[in-house]
Structures are given as structure tokens and as C-alpha cells.
Amino acid sequence: MRSHFGRVPMGQQMEKRHNPRPALAASAIAPPVFDTPRLLLRQAVRGDAAFMLELMNEPSYIDNIGDRGVRTVAHATHYIEEKYLASYERHGFGLYIVELKEESCPVGICGLVKRDSLDGPDLGFAYLRRYWSRGFAAEAAGATLEQARRSLKLRRLYGVVSPKNARSIRLLERLGFRLVRSLTLPGQAMESDLYETELIPA
């Protein structure tokens, strides 16, 4: 995995505070945050709204993650702004768009989610059904854990998953997560399972 994070000299940090970078245009593509042999993981931009609309209305997304009521490109754009862009700004991380390197097309999302109800971030991921069973989820998730350990210096990650989502549970267990307990997230009627893994410092 090649990371594109780096330490910014203090002088440049001060300059950045006084000269903030303008927001990306809706059609712009953000540079990769990190990559794997087959994938690029980058921040979402407003231009990803059509992709997010498709992803969030797939039956597997609605069944296992939830129906967020995103029904139009405008809804998806607002969701990106309120959830994805806000997380990057507030926490310095979030869910990223997963793209195929060779085709430059988005296939899913993977990254970290910070919930007010948990004391640390959890690993989140979802992929379009037509890209399942190719190892993309494991490849991106493994790189995300390494990024969390090396660049973000996190010691622990959670995984929140529906008890009926066998595919995601298998992936979490493959990555070293263990079941901790059941919980009900705020605003959700159904119980989820909480998984956890310790990240050994780099």
C-alpha cells in the first residue's frame, strides 16, 4: 500500500490556515488518499452523486446498512456533503470512494466512520453487487486498517454489522476482528453486532 499522507512543515501549516484550499468543483476528482495493487481510495466529491445514488439503492445496501432515503442525484449530493465531506473536515478521515485503477471507475466505498455512540471509529464498506467476489472488499479494507495504524496512529477499530450479513462478518473475522457484543445504534430499530480489533503500533 502506498500512502499519500505526509507530515506538513509548520510553516506550510500556518500558510494553509491563512490560505485555505478552495473546495473541489463538482466535476473534479480528488487525488488518491492511498492505493493498493488494483485500487485507488480517494475522498468523495459532489461529482460522485450518481454513483452514490446507485450504490445506496441496491437491495444489499438497504438490507444490511439501511435505507437513507436517497432517491435523486440531488439527495446523493447533499448526503455526500453532510456525511462524507463533513467527516473529512471534522475528523481527518471518513469513507472513501474505491476505484479500479485500470478502469478509473468507482466500485464501492471503504473507510472509517466516527459515530457519537462509540469511543472510536469503525470500519465501513459497501460495493456494487456486480463487483462482488473479486477480492476488492478485502483488499481495500486491509489497506484501510494499515492506514489507520500507520498514518492515523489508531490503536483500536470497531466494526458494526448486521447479524444477518454473513459476507461482511466473514471479512471482519478474516481481518482479525472479534465479536464484542450486540448494540442498537441511535435511530436504528434493529440490533447490530459490534466487532473490535486491536491495531499493533507501527
Say if 24 falls within a structural domain. no
**Is 5 inside any structural domain?**
no
4 is a domain residue: no
- Residue 118 sits in a domain of what CATH number? 3.40.630.30
**Looking at the domain assignment, is residue 14 inside a domain?**
no
pTM above 0.95, yes or no: no
pLDDT in tens, 11-57: 433 333 333 334 444 446 677 899 999 999 999 999 999 999 999 99
25 located within any domain: no
**Mean pLDDT calculated for residue range 135-139:** 98
78 found inside a domain: yes
pLDDT in tens, 87-126: 999 999 999 999 999 999 999 999 999 999 999 999 999 9
Q: C-alpha grid cell for residue 123?
A: 470500519
Beta bridge partners of 179: 195
The pLDDT value given to residue 5: 40
Q: Which domain holds residue 181?
A: 30-198
Q: Is residue 21 part of a domain?
A: no
Q: Where in the chain does DSSP place strands (E)?
A: 2-3, 32-35, 39-43, 95-100, 106-113, 122-127, 156-161, 178-183, 192-198
Count the domains in the chain. 1
Let me know if residue 7 belongs to a domain.
Answer: no
